[in-house]
Every structure is written in structure tokens, then in C-alpha cells.
Chain A
């Protein structure tokens, strides 16, 4: 259970935030950061632990968002049911794409490219298909009841997304300590060697992609409930594909807390850029792109890696600095 203690501490600390902070702007910032952390945790399962860099996680985010919205608006399905259905649909899309792609043994650049293409196909389809509201998008009717998964207080939304993030952290922690996780990491480090040792790499990657899609899909479902509006550019747009990969890489890919940490850093960085240079379209994304390049150049293991390095440095320091003192005493 000790492995889960840090998760409990972090989640409890974050849960207390709305009790202290009442500013809607600040809470909104945190809700969006957690939303991106959740989408990023999805990417992290496949990309961070599995080494399969998807450039098209929008495919899962968008499916979750659209299924949640369309089921409610067009079929009168309850929002909670829609939410679950959205996650299931995203997982199904992940399994479908994964089955096609991994069976064709696409890796590296090819994998990035084909995931990007799938997200684009879905975006184009969603922007013309009548069921998604085509170019107009889908608007969920305002209905501020817990039964409709809508709340008039931002704090409650915050706790909902925090709960989802907490679940995703536990999933990542479970994965890290499981046999399946070990297989997945083996595939990341050397797929051919893993296969030679009897790991069914295709099935492992497929499983990871399904799980990954479900988690990022959940972020999409939440987006739909929080903003009550979905269109093709939002749901299947490149912005979410970029954020989903950016947050774990900045925070530390293949670590439990990487995406959460990365999301907070990335969002703060984007807001900071806006404060410095004024709010203008594109500015936050310039900051994100620069952050991506800088992290890869100077901190390959992200913020989590930097923390580990600092800790190692601190552990070593007392030993070396105390030796002259010890010499003085004993000498």
C-alpha cells in the first residue's frame, strides 16, 4: 500500500484547494489543467510506458466527447450513462486502430503518422456528418442537476475531474507494478528482444492502446460536460493531440505523476506567456512548442527526472561535504 501513499497525499492536497481558493478563474485554470493531465495520462500509458508515440490522441478524446454529447442530445440518454458510453467508445476506437496498426507492425515514425491520419479522418467526418451536428457542432442543454452530471459550482466539477485523475494515477501505479506493465516497458526498451523472450508484443501494445484510449476518452467526456459544447475542431483538433503528448513529456514520460506535473507546468507556462506578451492567438502554443523542444534538449526525463536528479545530488552532497568535518573531528 505504501506505493499508493504519494497518490493519496497529492490527491488530498489538491482536493482541499477549492476550500481555500474561491476564485472562479483559478478554479477554471485548475479544471482545465486536470483535464489535460487526464488526457496526458492516457498518452503516458501508451507513449510513456510503451514507447509508442501517438500524434493523434484527439481520436480518442473526440470520440469520448462526441459520444457523451450526441447520446444525450439526440437520444435522450442520461449523462452518466453517456459518460460511461463515451469511455467505452473511445476504448473501442483505440482497440480498432491498435488492431490494424500493430498487426501491420507499424512503429516509430509510421505509428505517429498513422495515428495522426486517423484523428484527421475522424475530424473531417465529424465536420460533415449530420449526427455530430456537422459544422455547427453539438450543444448540450443546460440542466444543472447532479443527475445530469452538471453542477452550478465549479468546485464540484473540480472534484469530479480530480477523482478521474486520481483513478488514472492509481491505474498508472497498478500498471507500473504489474506483469503487464513490465512487458510493456520491455517492448518500449527493445521490442525484438521482448518478442524473443516470449512477450506477445502485439497484444501488449494493443492492450495498452485500449487502456490509453479509454483514459484520454474520459477526458473528452468530461470536456463535453464541462463546456457543454463540442465541435469537430475542438474534439478532434490537433490542440488536444499536442497537449496529450506534451504534458507527460514535460512532466516525465513513463512516470505516474509525470502527466499531472507536466499539465500544471505547461498550463502555467502558457498563462505566463500570455501575461508577458499579451493575450493573442497562437502565443500559448508557441510557448508549448518551445517547452517541448527545451525539455527534450535539456531535461530528457522531464520534471520528474529533474526532481530525481536533484534528490540524488542532495543525497550525495552531505556525505562529501561532511568528510572534511569528520576529518577535523577524528584527525
Chain B
């Protein structure tokens, strides 16, 4: 029906976007895996990080890819503080409360951005925004290729942290058996905050990868985070490989449904997958334990 000349670039572009989606989803799934709650503040934090990347470029001329190295630790610290000082104490260890507190944070952050910067949509001009690389079958935009590579680099780094460091071991211990971890002397509040910090740092890197080709406004994060929810549900809550593969699948689905159905209905395709997966296989396609 469609010639491969259109189809192949659409699929490849979907994969490239999907990798950045996967990075956002990775933060979400990490937090779910350990704290067992969905972080509804994820989207607002993404918007905040995109604003940070925007101003780093605008005020200090910092290239987003350089800014990523500064914003990731800064947002790690922010996420750590948020969990340690706000979410943890405010929710008294009750899951439903935690859910509501993250929603409250989302509302505050998103509207603080709206209050400070208005609803204006802003973009940055980087010299490489429109450069492309010829891969033979398709021309692909440079920022998207970098985003793809960087997303996988971060995923690899995360894997190293989780599997080869003591902090990672402690995080996995808390995720598996909270009480047991507490008994052997792991500070659970600290681990919760570390996890939340790592998830937030993922979002900061994703923001830096998105900003060269995307715009920023106070609720830009919402669109991405609903996609990230879909990915996390698709890949199985708490599953890291699930988030990566789910991200790539959703990227391709979005790209193709955008091609066939048009921009606004393309989004519905994602939601329908989301609802269908939740209803039919709530543990995700890869069967991670929910």
C-alpha cells in the first residue's frame, strides 16, 4: 500500500523517538519497581527539566548535550530531596497518599512553571537541529540519532549502577523485600530517595535530548508522560528491559499511526493500546511481576 521509501524512514524515526520515550519510561518504571507507586509528578518534572535546559542554552549558551551532564546530577538531588522531604514524610507510608502527593507535586510544579513563564511555547536554535545523516535507506536527523545513542548509554549506565554497585544492590534488595532489607541495616528512606533521584535524573537527560528538536511549555511533559505510562504498562511495571522494548514499540506505533491517521488521532492509537494492555495483560507483555 505504502512504498518502503515512506515506510522505512517512518519506522526508523519511530525507533529513534521511542528510545527517548524509553528513557522517560525507565525513570518511571524504576520508581514503580521500588516504591510501588506511579509517580504522577514525572511529567511536570520533565517540563521543569526542559525549561532548565532551555534557560541553560538561552542564558549561558550551554549546549543541551553539555547541559545534560549538569542537569542530571542537579535533578538527581532535586528528586532525592523531593522524596526525602516531601513525598516520604507527607504520605505516612500509605500508597494511596503517596499517589496523591505526587499528583499534588505535579500540579504545583506545572502551574509554577505556568505562572513564571506563561503558556508561551519556546524553542532553541542549535546549529545541528536540521542536519541529517544518510543511512542509505533513509536520512535521519542528527539530534534524533544522538538522542537514540544517549538514551541507550544512560540505560547501560543505569544497568551498571543497579547491578555492580552497592547502592544498586541495596535498591534491588528494597524492591524485592522491604522488611528484610530494613532488617539487614539498609536505610529504606534513603534508598527510596535515591531511587526517586535516579528516576528524576533520567527525566533530566531525556529533557536535554528532546529540547534540540522539540518545544517547551509548562505542560509539554504531560504528552510524554502519558506515552511513558503506556510504555511502562506495556513493558510491565518495574521491568527495565520492558521499558526499553516498550519504548521502541510505542515509538514505532506512534510514528505509523501518525502516518495513517494524522497527528491528533495518532495519539489515540497509543491510548487504546494502553487501555487494551491494562485490561487484558495488566502485568505487561513481558510478564514482569506487578
Contact = CB atoms under 8 A, between A and B. Distances in A.
Contacts of A121: 268, 271-272, 275
Contact of A101 (B103, B111, B271, B279): B279
Nearest to B278: A114
Interface residues on A, range: 35 or more
A53 B99 contact: yes
Interface in B240-284: 264-265, 267-268, 271-272, 274-275, 278-280, 282
Interface in A85-100: 100
A104 B36 CA distance: 19
Interface string B22-65: 00000000001000111010000000000000000000000000
A109 B218 contact: no
Contact of B264 (A51, A105, A124, A297): A124
Interface in A273-308: 280-283, 285-286, 288-290, 292-293, 296-297, 300
A110 interface: yes
A136 interface: no
A33 B114 CA distance: 24
Contact of A292 (B89, B103, B111): B103
Interface string B206-220: 000000000000100
B282 A117 contact: no
A117 B274 contact: yes
B103 to A, nearest CB: 7
Contacts of B272: 121
A300 B272 CA distance: 35
B275 A293 contact: no
Contacts of A100: 275, 279
Nearest to B37: A109
Contacts, number: 122
A108 interface: yes
Contacts of B38: 109, 112-113
B275 A128 contact: no
B233 A109 contact: no
Contacts of A212: none
A219 B114 CA distance: 27
A117 B279 CA distance: 12
B111 A117 contact: no
A118 interface: yes
Nearest to B272: A121
A30 to B, nearest CB: 24
B267 A113 contact: no
A263 interface: no
Given A281-B114, A281-B115, A286 B107 contact: yes
A106 interface: yes
A256 B205 CA distance: 46
A127 interface: yes
Interface string B9-33: 0000000000000000000000010
Given A104-B282, A297-B89, A117 B271 contact: yes
B107 A296 contact: no
A288 B107 contact: yes
Given A104-B282, A297-B101, 10 more contacts: A106-B282, A108-B99, A109-B95, A112-B40, A121-B268, A121-B272, A280-B115, A281-B119, A282-B111, A292-B100
21 contacts: A51-B96, A55-B103, A104-B282, A106-B282, A109-B38, A112-B40, A112-B99, A113-B38, A117-B275, A120-B271, A124-B268, A245-B100, A249-B100, A282-B113, A286-B115, A289-B107, A290-B108, A292-B104, A293-B108, A296-B104, A297-B90
Interface of B: 32, 36-38, 40, 86, 89-92, 95-97, 99-101, 103-108, 110-115, 118-119, 218, 226, 229, 233, 264-265, 267-268, 271-272, 274-275, 278-280, 282, 290
